[in-house]
Chains A and B, each alone.
Chain A
Amino acid sequence: MENNPAQLVDWSSHFIALVFDGLSLLIPQSDVYSLEPTVDMISITSHNGSVGQLEQSGNVWSLYALSSELNLLNSCPETYHIALLMKNVQPAFGLLCEQVDTIDRNQISIHPVPTAMKTENSPLLALALYGNEVRYISSASALSHLLTQGQA
């Protein structure tokens, strides 16, 4: 594992850790437009799997809720109070979560997803060691692919 391809990626210097359903998912901070409370969310039931929408600066973000298995939920759990609005993707979307935190790049060591664990529909780009725990790294683009392919 010395030749670690995950180390060759130009990762952001900071990550946003989204916590939902017991999972902590790290997204490069450079992929995040803003964090918003869900009080202004308009709840909808949509054919594309989104559970709501949020308007911000004249743009509308479709909001999605995921389980710890990264499957789409068809309604927003009561504990998901924060929306992470993504940038660098079209159409714009946001992920709902329970908690967020900021993690510096130098607080984690990044490892590739073991080859035997890779699947075509996985949005995971790498794994991270954070203290004595494992975290999962994705990106706006990888999650967008998961959502638009309807494979969540």
Chain B
Amino acid sequence: MKVSAWIVSITDTVFASVGEFELIHILPDSPSLYKVPKAPCYCQQVFIWQNKIIPVMNLALRFGLEQESATTHRFICIFAYRAQKTGLLEYGALSLNASPTRTEVSDEQVCKLPTDLSPWRHYFRSCFQEANTQASIPILKLECLFAYQEGV
């Protein structure tokens, strides 16, 4: 059985994916971003969306990867996930250098995590080999990614 997923670019060569219904909105314009003092370098900004304050994470910085792309235009995508502790719906955003793309995934495509991301395996559910590009695409565990507290 195949299911739909979204592929997001972490860098020009490293990708990750989320479930079809976890991506809920791609912002057409750059929102007003507010820098939160003392926040970690990979998640320093928030914006307002539907009367909620949404944190924006840069996955390349989060995973210590070099951002090769010189592009200045970044896409901000909003994701929904269930908080592990409360089970409530929460929201977080990723700053991406390309718009997400759709793909179809089946259990037969399972593969090992890319070496670059293996230290961060607790942030991924699994990994699959994308049919067209043959790239290894890990599946993000958003509820872990947005729940980690640095130094706390």
Contact = CB atoms under 8 A, between A and B. Distances in A.
A38 interface: no
Contact of B36 (A120, A121, A124, A133): A124
B152 to A, nearest CB: 6
B144 to A, nearest CB: 10
Contact of B43 (A116, A120, A129): A116
- Interface magnitude class on chain B: 20 to 34
Contact of A3 (B52, B55, B86, B152): B86
A90 interface: no
Nearest to B91: A1
Interface stretch (A39-47, A49-57, A75-83, A107-115): A107-115
B3 interface: no
B92 A114 contact: yes
Contacts of A106: none
A115 B146 CA distance: 7
Contacts of A69: 37-38
A70 interface: yes
A2 interface: yes
Given A69-B37, A69-B38, A113-B36, A120 B152 contact: yes
A116 B38 contact: no
Interface size range on A against B: 20 to 34
Given A123-B38, A136-B37, A117 B55 contact: yes
A2 B46 CA distance: 18
Contacts of A7: none
B1 interface: no
A117 B48 contact: no
Given A23-B37, A127-B46, A119 B55 contact: no
A117 B88 CA distance: 19
Given A3-B86, A3-B88, A116-B40, 11 more contacts: A1-B90, A69-B37, A109-B51, A116-B147, A117-B36, A117-B40, A119-B39, A122-B37, A127-B46, A129-B53, A134-B46
7 contacts: A3-B88, A68-B35, A68-B37, A114-B92, A116-B40, A129-B53, A133-B34
Interface of A: 1-3, 23, 68-70, 109, 111, 113-124, 127, 129, 132-134, 136
8 closest A-B pairs by CB:
A114-B55, A122-B38, A134-B34, A117-B39, A120-B151, A70-B37, A111-B53, A116-B43
